[in-house]
């Protein structure tokens, strides 16, 4: 079967790219797992905070804001962000406040938002009201639905071989060989592997594990209106989730090879130990835990655009944990580059995202 674009990877990078490219030709998304967004996308903290991340990531996030309010009737709901410093972390939080344009608030005001905070431990607090929960499943399914209007989205279809032809690509997936003039590599932690299969030089992407623990709401509180909380310097975070409470060590542990990640109990314990002094309610029970791989390029910026060695091989990779909050603008940039349309992003940002920077 022939398509204009084959997109390898069915997470937020792949589904959003497919949706945008579906206006330019027929698309086919190939996802190895039985469901879309199975790996990193399905294990996201799901927060839209436009000032969070590398400056190039921030530019993409800000360019995505209108879409978050309008796509599929709106994909976000109010959450808020609270950053806290304990003893000895005051200067670190000061840098966070400056970088992320937070409003410094009193410890008492922070405690009014999250009543379990321990004022004996919290030294400084910064707040940003304009941080939002993302309905991640609806976002993935919305993009996939758009892609299906001019193509196909296949799950349980691992790619086993890729061959360059005179007119494009032959991709064997499952028991079928598909052809396309353009190949889009949106394979997350596996993106360098896919590049190698296609005869394209890997970028040097590094998958970094991040773990999370789910536990009952502290002290039986209604946590639904509490903000997300991040320790100064991103040393841990906590967030409401469907009436429960999530705590993460916010670790970045490199793994030897991409795989279906799982949480390390010792790392979780260390993260909970960093979180525990900030609150008066003791963590006594973890009901479940999981981990995901946040994949970064060598300079920690996303990789968007055509490979310099082959313009028919497109990268949409290196999201590094910022895939959801950058997806609307990142996928639009990819489509603009393919079509030759002017982008709303400035030339410096586009160059900072280009795969050519690694040449």
Tens of pLDDT, residue by residue over 23-57, are 999 999 999 999 999 987 768 888 999 999 999 99
- Residue-level pLDDT at 180: 98
- Residue-level pLDDT at 291: 96
- Residue-level pLDDT at 43: 81
The model scores a pTM over 0.85: yes
Domains in the chain and their CATH numbers? 2-60+135-205+299-358 (3.50.50.60), 81-129+207-295 (3.30.9.10)
DSSP 3-state assignment of 145? helix
- Residue-level pLDDT at 359: 78
- What is the sign of the dihedral through the CA atoms of 246, 81, 129 and 69? negative
Question: Would you tell me how many other CB atoms lie within 10 Å of the CB of residue 35?
Answer: 11
Which segments in the chain show pLDDT lower than 50?
none
189, 202 in Cβ contact below 8 A?
no
Distance between CA atoms of 97 and 51, rounded to whole angstroms?
10
- Residue-level pLDDT at 40: 77
DSSP string, 231-291: ETTTS-EEEEETTEEEEE----EE-SS-------HHHHHHHHHHHGGGBSSPP----EEEE
């Amino acid at each position: 079967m022939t398509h204009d674009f084959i997109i390898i990877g069915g997470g937020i990078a792949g589904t959003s790219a497919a949706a945008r490219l579906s206006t330019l030709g027929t698309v086919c998304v190939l996802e190895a797992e039985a469901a879309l967004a199975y790996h990193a996308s399905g294990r996201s903290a799901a927060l839209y905070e436009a000032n969070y991340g590398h400056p190039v990531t921030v530019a993409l996030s800000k360019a995505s804001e209108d879409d978050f309010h309008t796509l599929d009737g709106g994909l976000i709901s109010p959450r808020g962000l609270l950053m806290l410093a304990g003893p000895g972390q005051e200067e670190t939080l000061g840098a966070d406040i400056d970088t992320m344009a937070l409003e410094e608030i009193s410890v008492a005001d922070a405690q009014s938002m999250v009543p379990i905070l321990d004022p004996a431990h919290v030294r400084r607090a910064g707040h940003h009201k304009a941080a939002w929960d993302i309905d991640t499943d609806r976002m993935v399914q919305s993009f996939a639905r758009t892609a299906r209007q001019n193509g196909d989205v296949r799950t349980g279809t691992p790619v086993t071989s890729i061959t360059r032809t005179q007119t494009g690509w032959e991709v064997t997936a499952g028991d079928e060989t598909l052809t396309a003039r353009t190949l889009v590599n949106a394979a997350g932690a596996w993106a360098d592997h896919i590049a190698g299969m296609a005869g394209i030089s890997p970028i040097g992407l590094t998958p970094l594990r991040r773990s999370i623990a789910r536990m009952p709401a502290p002290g039986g509180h209604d946590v639904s209106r509490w903000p997300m909380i991040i320790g100064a310097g991103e040393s841990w975070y906590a967030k409401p989730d469907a009436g429960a409470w999530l705590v993460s060590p916010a670790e970045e542990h490199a793994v030897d090879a991409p795989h279906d990640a799982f949480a390390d109990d010792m790392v979780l314990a260390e993260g909970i130990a960093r979180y525990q002094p900030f609150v008066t309610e003791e963590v006594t029970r973890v009901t479940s835990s999981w981990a995901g791989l946040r994949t970064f390029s060598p300079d920690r910026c996303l990789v968007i655009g055509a490979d310099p060695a082959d313009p028919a091989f497109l990268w949409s990779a290196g999201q590094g944990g910022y895939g959801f909050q950058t997806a609307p603008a990142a996928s639009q940039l990819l489509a603009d580059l393919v079509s030759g349309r002017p982008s709303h992003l400035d030339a410096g940002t586009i160059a900072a995202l280009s795969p050519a920077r690694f040449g």
